[in-house]
């Protein structure tokens, strides 16, 4: 049974036969659908999770840039007693340095090898996110 659109198209073109209108249909899932900020952060966190090597079985890791001055490291795993364990570290970039904030009100500035590793992770993150998500070459960070 022809659709109303097919009938109208037939009247306009003068063709009484069924008209193929498949080419007029919009795809159900458009590739260029705009993503929300939350969806972009989730994609970026997935890339960030792979920067530090393979995850042990049963672990989940996220590493991402929350805003212009905040980085998040989050891990979840199930311990030997089958209880969910979590660890979240927030890195806040400040004029004085990078403040590391952990659960239990532990605050300290990142120094030495840890600061070098964090800096390297941030650079790798920017490069991979720029290429894999935004399909652009990353801007060189001084």
Q: What is the pLDDT of residue 57?
A: 87
Q: What is the pLDDT of residue 17?
A: 55
Distance CA 18, CA 20 (A): 7
Tokens of 91: 């890195």
Distance CA 97, CA 31 (A): 41
Mutual orientation of helices 112-132 and 37-49 as an angle, nearest 10°? 120
∠ at Cα 36 (28, 47), nearest 5°? 100
Element (H, E) at 68: none
pLDDT along the chain (142 residues), means of 10: 56 55 53 82 95 90 96 96 96 97 94 96 95 90 64
**Alpha carbon of 25 to those of 22, 57, 99: distances in Å?**
6, 44, 53
Report domain extents, the chain: 37-132
Q: What is the pLDDT of residue 34?
A: 85
Q: What is the pLDDT of residue 139?
A: 82
Say what the pTM is. 0.72
Tokens of 39: 């969806």
Distance CA 24, CA 20 (A): 9
CB 51 within 8 A of CB 63: yes
């Amino acid at each position: 049974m022809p659709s109303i659109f097919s009938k109208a198209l037939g009247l306009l073109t003068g063709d009484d036969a069924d008209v193929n209108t498949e080419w007029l249909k919009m795809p159900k899932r458009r590739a260029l659908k705009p993503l929300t900020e939350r969806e972009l952060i989730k994609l970026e966190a997935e890339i960030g999770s792979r920067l530090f090597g393979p995850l042990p079985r049963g672990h989940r890791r996220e590493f991402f840039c929350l805003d212009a001055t905040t980085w998040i490291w989050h891990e979840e795993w199930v311990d030997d007693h089958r209880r969910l364990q979590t660890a979240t570290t927030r890195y806040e970039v400040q004029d004085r340095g990078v403040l590391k904030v952990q659960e239990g009100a532990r605050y300290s500035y990142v120094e030495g090898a840890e600061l070098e590793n964090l800096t390297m992770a941030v650079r790798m993150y920017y490069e991979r996110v720029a290429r894999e998500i935004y399909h652009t070459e990353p801007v060189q960070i001084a």
